[in-house]
C-alpha cells in the first residue's frame, strides 16, 4: 500500500497545526508540523513533502525568508498563510514563488480544498517525464515564436534557455500557450491553474502573470509577451499576429 501524501505545516499556532492535522488526516494526508522557521525550513529542504503550508509570521525568520531559501533548491508547492487585510504580504509571497495564499483567519475546510487542488497539480507534475526523455518529449513540444513548452516534462525554454518556474507558473503558461492568440479570462485561469473560483479582490493570477513576464522576458521583437486585455483577461501574443 502506498504511503499517504505528506504535508508540512510551518506555523507557531499549536492549535491550528493540530486542527489541520486532523482535517487533512481525514482526507488521507499525513501531516508533519514545525513551530518555528528554522526547523520548518530544515524539514522542508530534506523531506519528500507533497506540499508545504507556510505562515508569514514566524519566530526566528519570517515566512518570506523561509520561502526564499526553500526556492533555491525546491519546487514543492507552497500555500502561504497571511494576515487578513495585508495585501502586500500576499503579493510579496507570490512574487517570491508561493503557489497560492490564504488570509487568516480562514475557514479550515476551505484550506483543505486549496490543499487538494494544489496536490492534484503536484501529482500531475510528479508524473512528468524526466529531462532527457528524447523523442517522446520532442513530439509534445508546444512552440510560440521563441517560447517552447514541453508538457511531458513540464519544462519551458526561451531562445533555447531553460526557465525555472513554479508549479502554478508552469500550469499558467501551458494554458496560455495552448490558446496562444486568444484571450483567456482570469476566471478561467483561476479554475484551470489554481483549481478554484476567483474570489473578489483576488490577485493570485495577476501576480503569477507578473512573475511569468519577468522570467520569460519580452517577445522576439521586444514587445510584451503576455498582454492584458482590459476587463477580459490575458493573451499570449504571437509575433506578426
Q: Tens digits of per-residue pLDDT, 21-52?
A: 999 999 999 999 999 999 999 999 988 899 99
The three cell numbers locating residue 186: 482570469
User: What mean pLDDT, rounded, does the chain reach?
Assistant: 86
pLDDT band at residue 198 under the 50/70/90 scheme: confident
pLDDT at 225 > cutoff 60 = yes
Rounded mean pLDDT of 11-20? 92
Q: Are residues 87 and 189 in the same domain?
A: no
Residue 119 lies in a domain: yes
pLDDT at 60 > cutoff 70 = yes
Q: Are residues 158 and 116 in the same domain?
A: no
CATH number, residue 203: 1.10.10.10
Percent of the chain having pLDDT more than 90? 54
Q: Are residues 145 and 95 in the same domain?
A: no
Q: Give the C-alpha separation, 168 to 62, whole Å.
A: 23
Q: Give the C-alpha separation, 142 to 136, whole Å.
A: 13
Q: Are residues 101 and 211 in the same domain?
A: no
Rounded mean pLDDT of 80-88? 76
Q: Are residues 194 and 117 in the same domain?
A: no
pLDDT band at residue 68 under the 50/70/90 scheme: very high
For residues 35 and 43, the answer to whether their CB atoms sit within 8 Å is no
- Looking at 89, 105, 126, the residue that finishes a domain is 126
pLDDT at 80 > cutoff 50 = yes
Range of the domain at 221: 135-236
- Looking at 91, 126, 161, the residue that finishes a domain is 126
Residue 1 lies in a domain: no
Q: Are residues 102 and 151 in the same domain?
A: no
Residue 30 lies in a domain: yes
Q: Are residues 227 and 145 in the same domain?
A: yes
Residue 241 lies in a domain: no
Q: Are residues 107 and 143 in the same domain?
A: no
Q: Give the C-alpha separation, 199 to 103, whole Å.
A: 12
Residue 170 lies in a domain: yes
Q: Are residues 43 and 117 in the same domain?
A: yes
User: Residue 116: CB partners within 8 Å, gap ≥ 6?
Assistant: 27, 195
Which residue has 493570477 as its cell numbers? Answer: 205
Q: C-alpha angle 96/115/28, rounded to 5°?
A: 140
For residues 111 and 17, the answer to whether their CB atoms sit within 8 Å is no
Rounded mean pLDDT of 65-78? 91
Q: 71: how many CB neighbours lie within 10 A of its CB?
A: 16
User: Residue 135: CB partners within 8 Å, gap ≥ 6?
Assistant: none
How many structural domains are present in the chain?
2
Q: List pLDDT tens digits, range 104-155.
A: 888 888 888 889 888 887 776 554 444 444 444 445 899 999 999 999 888 9
Rounded mean pLDDT of 168-197? 92
- Looking at 78, 98, 126, the residue that finishes a domain is 126
Rounded mean pLDDT of 222-232? 92
Q: Give the C-alpha separation, 8 to 43, whole Å.
A: 8
Q: Are residues 12 and 113 in the same domain?
A: yes
**Burial of 205 (C-beta count, 10 Å sphere; 0-12/13-18/19+):** buried
Q: Are residues 156 and 178 in the same domain?
A: yes
**Residue of 18, 73, 62, 15 lying closest to 40 (CA atoms):** 62
Q: Are residues 10 and 122 in the same domain?
A: yes
Amino acid at each position: 500500500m502506498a504511503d499517504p501524501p505528506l504535508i508540512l505545516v510551518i506555523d507557531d499556532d499549536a492549535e491550528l497545526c493540530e486542527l489541520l492535522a486532523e482535517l487533512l488526516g481525514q482526507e488521507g494526508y499525513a501531516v508533519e508540523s514545525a513551530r518555528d522557521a528554522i526547523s520548518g525550513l530544515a524539514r522542508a529542504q530534506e523531506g519528500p513533502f507533497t506540499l508545504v503550508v507556510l505562515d508569514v509570521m514566524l519566530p526566528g525568520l519570517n515566512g518570506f525568508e523561509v520561502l526564499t531559501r526553500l526556492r533555491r533548491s525546491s519546487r514543492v508547492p507552497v500555500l502561504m498563510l497571511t494576515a487578513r487585510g495585508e495585501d502586500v504580504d500576499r503579493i510579496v509571497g507570490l512574487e517570491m514563488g508561493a503557489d497560492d495564499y490564504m488570509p487568516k483567519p480562514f475557514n479550515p475546510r476551505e484550506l483543505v480544498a486549496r490543499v487538494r487542488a494544489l496536490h492534484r497539480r503536484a501529482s500531475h507534475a510528479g508524473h512528468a517525464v524526466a529531462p532527457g526523455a528524447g523523442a517522446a518529449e520532442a513530439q509534445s513540444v508546444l512552440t510560440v515564436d521563441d517560447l517552447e513548452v514541453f508538457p511531458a516534462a513540464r519544462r519551458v525554454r526561451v531562445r533555447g534557455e531553460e526557465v525555472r518556474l513554479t508549479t502554478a507558473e508552469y500550469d499558467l503558461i501551458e494554458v496560455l500557450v495552448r490558446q496562444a492568440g486568444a484571450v483567456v479570462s482570469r476566471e478561467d485561469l483561476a479554475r484551470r491553474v489554481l483549481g478554484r473560483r476567483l474570489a473578489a479582490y483576488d490577485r493570485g493570477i495577476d501576480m503569477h502573470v507578473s512573475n511569468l513576464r519577468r522570467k520569460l522576458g519580452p517577445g522576439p521583437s521586444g514587445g510584451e509577451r503576455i498582454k492584458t486585455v482590459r476587463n477580459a483577461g490575458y493573451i499570449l501574443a504571437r509575433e506578426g499576429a
